Amino acid sequence: KYAARTSVIPFNPVLATDSIRRQAGEKSQVREPWNQEEMNQVLWAVVANSKLDCFLHLMMHTGMRPGEVLGLRWQDIDGAGSALSVTGTLKQARRITPSGQGVVRMERNEPKTFASRRPITISPELSQALDRQKMYESVARITAEENWQESGYVITTLVGSPVSLSNLRKVYVKFLSVNTFRYIRLHDIRHSVATLSLGLGIPIEQVSQVLGHTRIETTKNIYAQHVPKF
């Protein structure tokens, strides 16, 4: 679409194709969510991993999308450290330069939907993870010296620049393998948070709001089987 819009190509050839449809019996990429014990084990082990500590705590305590976590800035956390605001999402974007060269860069965009722009309460455990992240950042800033980039993001590289999801995913997969934890995709962590919350009796309206769903029907359609029956 971008190439056609900027006249790099005369038209979008994808428009002439059919949408990809899942075939009957085709295996889904979605993994079975972690249960409470698995979540606790991961949270306990990740404290020793400075690259994933704060990222996974944010994922597992808030149900935020991976891109929303990477797009979180320190300015999105209130002064008291009691709540954060989801105000954007960070992702890799491929752009075509005037010379026709393709370049990949990190871009911060608006949240996925209007409902995705939401406040989330910070738990005591998440607050501690954020404090550790500040410490990691302080050490990295001193070590990087003049190479440090003040990006303002909570999750950064060792020189302060934003982190790409593809690079972080590699670190995540290795962390699970080393600790022999059952693999689930990063987005499946969001599903784990939702199913555990519903299993604990948290109202679906509240879960839907925290997840940033536009309509509660969306939450019901995805997690109906996990809503307690009374």
Query: Per-residue pLDDT tens for 144-156?
Result: 999 999 999 999 9
Identify the pLDDT of residue 3.
86
Model confidence over 9-57: pLDDT tens digits?
A: 888 998 888 776 655 555 556 779 999 999 999 999 999 999 999 999 9
Identify the pLDDT of residue 202.
92
Tell me how far CA of residue 117 lies from CA of 63, 72, 90, in angstroms. 13, 12, 14
Average pLDDT, the chain: 90
CA distance 190 to 120: 14
Of 70, 67, 60, 68, nearest to 38 by C-alpha is 60
Identify the pLDDT of residue 113.
84
Identify the pLDDT of residue 158.
96
Residue identified by tokens 């303002």 is: 152
Identify the pLDDT of residue 78.
95
